[in-house]
Chains A and B, each alone.
Chain A
Amino acid sequence: MRTTMRRTAAITSLALLASACGGGFEEGSSEGEGATSAEGNAALRVLIASSGDAETNAVNAAVDAWEEETGNTAEVTNSADMTTDLSKTFASNDPYDVMYIDAGRFATYADSGALYPYGDQVENSDDVYENLRETFTYEDELYCVPKDFSTLALVINDRMWKQAGLTDADIPTTWEELATVAEKLTTPEHKGLVLSPTRDRVGAFMVQAGGWIVDEEGTEVTADSEANTTALTYVQDLLQSGSTAWHTDVDSGWGGEALGRGAAAMTIEGNWIKGAMQADYPDVDYSVAELPAGPDGKGTQLFSNCWGIAAKSDAQEQAIDLVESLTSAEQQMTNAEAFGVMPALQSLQDEYAEKFPEDAAFVAGADHGQGPVSLPDFEPVLADFDSDLAGLQKGDPAAILESLQQNGEAALS
């Protein structure tokens, strides 16, 4: 008897302990209300996923200037593993106030109500490229403003280009020309074109063919379209011709590594390749050209991060003020100079192209760039597509797209 009683007591206390711990979480503030504001000076916490010291320092300097100007304080933390840290911060009762949100993951967070939709309260939000605005719009609301953006372009090894007897006039502008040039650039030592088997590279061909994984509103899956089949068949032809290979086939981690190590004469990458080439392969001369046009004209892919503000933040007004100063035209140009990103504002396009003529091809992509698919629950679907793409050479493009269509529809419903 006594043993039983003691046991019950032990279990009860354990249960009490459990409920006490469970009380650590609390329900978040509901969305749709006006911005919360701190009384007096706010102490904000900012989470960034920096590409390197240059970016961390630039953000820190900008935040310091804002602190001085407004009297608020903001502490910047750099995350090494953004998805995990975001999961943790959103689950907690006291999340970071301001954080980087990746365009591809944006909808998942917006859908669950973790983000505060503030986009239209920012002054220069109208100046943001239309494609980028769409990317960060969920259910007709602009949730956050992008900090910068990247596009894909064709990156060419100058030495190999010359060795193959090619000139500036040969820079491919159509799919046929790309295939010819890749063929000419291929030698036993290196491939003509190396790219990554992912929707984030192959997708550009889908855009050029006039297709995409989802429709413009992002409400319907349009994967099994004729245009997409054309695009995948074209890439398959490239792979089968032997002029093109995936980065994994040439022992590289990504396209930039293949280009730098001389395993590829051309690759398709974004403007982040600049920093990598400078750091790892400073002796390799390369130039950047716009991606060739497909049956439906020019097309590329667009990537971006925005400054998200947490729905649970208790100083949203101050957070918006901070974001406004971080995304001002002046600050975006400073960032461009400091760590080589492209400003997300249309009004800066000419100024940027003038200052960084070698990036003209990247910045030109802003006009016909397609943002990533950003739908809740879509990540496993896209991961499955990527894994199918890796086997494209021997696979059936139509079957790959059909499976993407089915999985996508299941995820959307």
Chain B
Amino acid sequence: MRWSRRTRRPRAGRIARRPGRGLRGDEQVAGWLFVAPMIVVLGLFLLLPIGMALWVSLLDWAPSQGDPFAGGGEFVGTDNYSSLFVEEGLARQDFMTSMRNTFYYVVFVVPLQTALALFLAVVLNQRRLRARGFFRSAFYFPSITSSVAISMVFLFLFLNNGGVNKALGWFGIDGPPWFSDPTGIFHLALARVGLQSAPPPLAATEIGGLSVWEWLSGPSVAMCAIIALVVWTTAGTFMLMFLAALQDIPVEVDEAALIDGASTSKKFWHVTLPQLKPVLFLVLTLGLISTWQVFDQVYVMSQGNPDKTTLTPAYLSYTESFIGQNWGTGAAIAFVLFAIILLMTLVQRWVMRDRDRPRRARRTRRPEVVRP
């Protein structure tokens, strides 16, 4: 019955799957055999460790207590998770601080690096530009250099008497002690307009162990240095993606737009940019994922200091586990981070969905293609 109904209203792709011993019945075995090595590798090195970590996140466990799968550690249910969100204490305070820091970090890094990458790609895509190869390598260079090495260089640049502050000094600006200044830049801006300390209602109201005033601090001066570093290093990678997409855009479209009398800026916003949408989605997604997971730079440059304003969930997960020996909490943080990244990506997919051509309209207008 169901079969006949399907044949009447076929959907693309579905019909190829035939049950039973058909023309391609034996291919299934071969198919599984071909996929088997990958399934084993993925299962062993991806699914299994994820499952193990999930189990550990439900335990009060340290490696010195023996095998967590043979009774080592105490099962505490979701205690590790509630210590991050509900229970008052240091764990929640640290976690929420890391959330705030990383939120500001993402909010600054993702738009900045995407804009910079796009700008560089558009510049490089101009046919009149000389020495394109040189600039392309130069912009891409930071991306292929080790992040630890670059972090070390930035550490020297941002010293109190380092290159950045000396350069600022030429313009008569007294640079801050970058990596020891925990003041948030929103707080600094508010101080400029005369709001030196927290207004009582903001200081008194707490969300997740941090006062609203603390939530609104913005990235600290130290975090700004890290933001600058990351924008500078990753923009090159994304520039390359934009560049590839730009070179895919047919010249005719550009010319047609010019003939129609579009100005350069109109052409960019209404002709070029819409065609870059899939790449923009890719760049934003990759950017979101990597920024939420920021670890190397913090590990090398600041270790969460000053005053925990560069603490990030990934780094906190590391310190909780390896240094604090609270592996359960560390694993729980990792899973919360995973959920956040998943959620952010879904939200972003939804925001960037194709609004111009709703599905229903497309289906009624176009005849469906029936594949053999």
Residues of A within 8 A of B (CB): 1-3, 6, 10, 14, 17-18, 21-22, 25-28, 83-84, 86-88, 90-91, 93, 105, 108-109, 112-114, 246, 248-251, 376-377, 379-381, 383-384, 387-388, 390-391, 407, 410-411
The interface residues of chain A lying within 8 Å CB-to-CB of B19 are 1-2
Closest to A410 in B: B89
Instruction: Report the minimal beta-carbon distance from A96 to chain B, rounded to whole angstroms.
Output: 12
Tell me which residues across on chain A come within 8 A of B71, comparing CB atoms: 27
CB distance from B183 to the nearest CB of A (A): 10
Complex-state Cα separation, A377 to B63, whole angstroms: 14
Q: Give the CA-CA distance A390 to B161 in the complex, in Å.
A: 19
Shortest CB distance A103–B (Å): 15
- Cβ < 8 Å to A, chain B residues 44-67: 44, 47-48, 51-52, 62-67
Residues of B participating in the A interface, judged by any CB pair closer than 8 Å: 19, 28, 32, 36, 39-40, 43-44, 47-48, 51-52, 62-72, 89-91, 94, 159-162, 177, 179-180, 182, 304-308, 319-326
Residue of A nearest to B61 (CB): A112
Which residues does chain B contribute within 8 Å of A391, judged by CB atoms? 182, 306-307
Q: How far is the CB of B304 from chain A (nearest CB, A)?
A: 7
The 13 sampled A-B contact pairs (Cβ below 8 Å) are A17-B44, A18-B48, A22-B67, A25-B67, A27-B66, A27-B70, A105-B325, A108-B64, A377-B324, A383-B319, A384-B90, A390-B182, A390-B306
Pair A83/B94 contact, Cβ less than 8 Å: no
Residues of B within 8 A of A411 (CB): 90
Q: How far is the CA of A342 from the CA of B6 in the complex (A)?
A: 85
Task: Enumerate chain A residues within 8 angstroms of B320, measured Cβ to Cβ.
Answer: 380
Q: How far is the CA of A93 from the CA of B69 in the complex (A)?
A: 13
Q: Which residue of B lies closest to A92 (CB)?
A: B63
Residue in contact with A26 in the complex, picked from B70, B161, B177, CB distance below 8 Å: B70
A17-B44, A26-B67, A114-B63 known, 13 other contacts, Cβ within 8 Å = A2-B28, A10-B36, A10-B39, A25-B66, A25-B68, A25-B69, A83-B322, A87-B321, A248-B179, A248-B180, A376-B325, A380-B326, A411-B90
B70 touching A25, Cβ below 8 Å:
yes
Please report the C-alpha to C-alpha distance between residue A383 and residue B304 in the assembled complex, in whole angstroms: 10
Q: A17-B43, A83-B323, A410-B90 are in contact. Are A27 and B64 (CB under 8 A)?
A: no
Q: Are A390 and B323 in contact (CB under 8 A)?
A: no
A-B contact count (CB 8 A): 129
Q: Which 8 residue pairs spanning A and B have beta carbons closest together?
A: A25-B67, A114-B64, A91-B63, A90-B64, A112-B64, A379-B324, A22-B69, A87-B63
Residue pair A17, B40 in contact (C-beta under 8 Å): yes
In the complex, A117→B89 CA distance in Å? 33
Complex-state Cα separation, A376 to B179, whole angstroms: 31
Q: How far is the CB of A115 from chain B (nearest CB, A)?
A: 8
Residues in B neighbouring A84, C-beta threshold 8 A: 322
Q: How far is the CA of A359 from the CA of B148 in the complex (A)?
A: 38
In the complex formed, the residue of A with least CB distance to B36 is: A10
The answer to whether A380 touches B90 (Cβ under 8 A) is yes
Please indicate which of the listed interface residues A86, A87, A384 has the most CB atoms of chain B within 10 Å of its own CB: A87
B211 to chain A, nearest CB (A): 14
Task: A348 to B162: give the CA distance in the assembly, Å.
Answer: 47
- Residue of chain A at shortest CB distance from B87: A410
Most B CB atoms within 10 A — which of A28, A112, A407? A112
Which residues of chain B have C-beta atoms less than 8 A from A108's C-beta?
A: 62, 64, 325
A245 CA / B161 CA spacing, docked (Å): 15
A246 touches which of B28, B48, B180, B304 (Cβ 8 Å): B180
- Compute how far the CA of A348 lies from the CA of B51 in the bound complex, rounded to whole angstroms: 54
Beta-carbon nearest neighbor of A386 in chain B: B305
In angstroms, how far is the closest chain A Cβ from the Cβ of B319? 7
Q: Which residues from B are CB-within-8-Å of A27?
A: 66-67, 70-72
Nearest CB to that of A93 among chain B residues? B67
- Please, how many angstroms separate the alpha-carbon atoms of A380 and B47 in the complex? 30
Q: Is the CB of B64 within 8 A of A113?
A: yes
A173 CA to B28 CA, complexed, in Å:
85
* Distance of B40 from chain A, by nearest CB (Å): 7
B305 lies within 8 A of A407 (CB): no
CA separation between A214 and B269, bound complex, in Å?
Answer: 64
Chain B hits for A10, CB < 8 A: 32, 36, 39
Cα–Cα, bound, A2→B319 (Å): 48
Determine the distance from Cα of A387 to Cα of B220 in the docked complex, in whole angstroms.
14
* Bound Cα distance A380, B94 (Å): 9
> Could you tell me the distance between the alpha carbons of A361 and B305 in the complex, rounded to whole angstroms?
33
Within the assembled complex, what's the spacing in Å between the Cα atoms of A160 and B270? 68
Residues of chain A contacted by B180 (CB below 8 angstroms): 246, 248-249, 390
Q: How far is the CA of A109 from the CA of B62 in the complex (A)?
A: 9
Of A112, A379, A387, A410, the contact of B323 (CB 8 Å cutoff): A379
* Bound Cα distance from A390 to B183, whole angstroms: 13
Pick from B63, B306, B324: contact of A88, CB under 8 Å: B63
Contact (A407, B89) CB under 8 Å given A17-B44, A90-B63, A91-B63: yes
Which residues from B are CB-within-8-Å of A390? 180, 182, 305-307
Residues of B within 8 A of A87 (CB): 62-64, 321-322, 325
Q: Which residues of A contact B70 (CB under 8 A)?
A: 22, 25-27
A22 to B71, CA, bound (A): 12
Partner of A249, one of B47, B67, B177: B177
